[in-house]
Amino acid sequence: MKPVAPDAGPSGALPACEADACPVPPQAPPRVRLIAIGDEILSGRRQDKHFSKLIELLQARGLRLHAAEFISDDEDEIAECLRRSFATPDLVFCCGGIGATPDDRTRQAAARALGVPLVLHPDAARLIGERCAEMAAKGQGSADMTTPENRQRLLMGVFPAGAEIIPNSYNKIPGFFIRDHSFMPGFPVMAHAMMAWTLDTRYARWHHLESRVEHSFLVFNLPESRITPALESLERRWAGIRAFSLPNVGDSGGHPHIELGVKGAPEAAAEALAWLRSEVLALGGRLEPPV
């Protein structure tokens, strides 16, 4: 017997499904991006450590980084970058510029980009006060939050209105979260733990949602121009599989070669990889370096 479609209502729309009868198909994880902020990175005075760490943290959770951007401490530039970024549905990690010195302009730029005021977050004020008390107990500074030094420290808890805090396990001075953008210090010892906390607390539902693999092999005695049509054909044959080609001219003393590979869903990637190997051999390529 053919299944009977449910009757449409007066408007022509079908009635709502029962929860168990119409399961919602799983969504693909959102894109994840990194924005690293700081003149010291662009000038080379400091080496960025966030890019590789975020990739590591994402891969451990079945996620991947889609893009990264490095920008200066200029408030106008940060605000413009964030305006574009807030307009996307991406999950974004922003590192740097949330302190309270003149070169820290990220908090101000984020508020401008969102069109909201800056306000002292009560939880941030409490945590900063606890940090000042801990330091005072060690003979460093005062627990009195009315002193000029501590009032300056409280500025680090002034965030765009509507933001939530990101806890900082290193020294309690929090970062902030708003519109799927996580803002944290430029210090790796603080930022990396805050990245992990954010991924595990806010985005656990996206962990290991997609099963993806990446396979590659080395090819010798084959020009890239000869194998390119096969790579294009591969992507047409296996929807969702991406092919890649990474030439090496042998500048480290080895033989020139190409690293060819595929990435995507495990079963389809395995099939595409086997096909690509056969195409390489048919085109005269070798899988071992020449003697």
Give SS3 for 227: helix
User: Is the pLDDT higher at 289 or at 158?
Assistant: 158
Confidence of residue 26 (pLDDT cuts 50, 70, 90): low
- The last residue of one of the domains, among 156, 184, 206, is 206
Residues in Cβ contact with 209 at an 8 Å cutoff, skipping those fewer than 6 apart? 26, 27, 28, 29, 62
Give the mean pLDDT of the chain: 90
Q: Is residue 70 part of a domain?
A: yes
- Do 164 and 247 share a domain, yes or no? no
> Can you give the CATH number for the domain in which 240 is found?
3.30.70.1130
Model confidence pLDDT, tens digit, residues 233-287: 999 999 999 999 999 987 777 889 999 999 999 999 999 999 999 999 999 999 9
What confidence score (pLDDT) does residue 25 get? 42
Q: What is the largest CA-CA distance in the chain?
A: 83
- Do 182 and 117 share a domain, yes or no? yes
State the total domains in the chain. Answer: 2
- Do 68 and 198 share a domain, yes or no? yes
Q: Is residue 73 part of a domain?
A: yes
The DSSP output letter for 221 is S
The predicted model gives 217-231 an average pLDDT of 95
What confidence score (pLDDT) does residue 16 get? 42
Residues in Cβ contact with 51 at an 8 Å cutoff, skipping those fewer than 6 apart? 34, 36, 65, 68
How many CB atoms within 10 Å of residue 185? 23
What confidence score (pLDDT) does residue 6 get? 37
- The last residue of one of the domains, among 206, 230, 264, is 206
- Do 240 and 153 share a domain, yes or no? no
- Do 259 and 121 share a domain, yes or no? no
C-alpha 215/C-alpha 102 separation (Å) is: 47
- Do 99 and 69 share a domain, yes or no? yes
> Can you give the CATH number for the domain in which 198 is found?
3.40.980.10
- Do 124 and 228 share a domain, yes or no? no
Q: Is residue 12 part of a domain?
A: no
- The last residue of one of the domains, among 162, 189, 206, is 206
Which structural domain range is residue 222 located in?
213-282
Please give the full DSSP string across 157-183, using - where no structure is assigned.
Answer: GEEETT-EEE--TTTS--EEEETTEEE
